[in-house]
């Protein structure tokens, strides 16, 4: 008696290969993870250094915006899209030592 081999996750591989929706989901996941991680790290560091809550949250928000912009600009899906950014954000992004990890 032989058993029928069924791969319950084969639909994910097929979905990835046949549609751009998977790439958009991946981009949104990267944006969310990068923004959240940078916000929490920056905000937590500022709080541990004795800064006020408002300063810590504001610093975290700036950090999250910059990292999300870096991810957005590097994505092949967003080539050719027009984005309006404050000049100050571009100034912050340029000198920032940003580490980009691609898996």
Residue-wise pLDDT tens digits, 68-101 = 988 988 888 888 887 777 776 666 666 666 666 6
| Domain total of the chain | 1
Q: Which domain holds residue 27?
A: 20-93
pLDDT at res. 4: 61
Summarize pLDDT for 3-43 with one digit per residue, the tens. 566 777 787 778 777 888 888 888 999 999 999 999 999 99
Tokens 């916000």 sit at which residue?
A: 39
CA separation for the pair 26, 42 (Å, rounded): 24
The span from the CA of 36 to the CA of 103, in Å, is 19
């Amino acid at each position: 008696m032989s058993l029928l081999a069924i791969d319950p996750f084969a639909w994910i591989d097929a979905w990835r290969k046949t549609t751009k929706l998977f790439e958009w989901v991946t981009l949104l996941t990267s944006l969310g993870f990068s923004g959240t991680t940078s916000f929490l790290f920056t905000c937590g560091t500022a709080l541990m250094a004795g800064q006020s809550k408002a300063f810590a949250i504001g610093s975290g928000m700036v950090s999250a915006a910059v990292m999300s912009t870096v991810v957005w600009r590097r994505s092949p899906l967003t080539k050719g899209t027009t984005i309006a950014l404050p000049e100050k954000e571009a100034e912050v992004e340029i000198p920032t030592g940003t580490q980009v990890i691609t898996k």
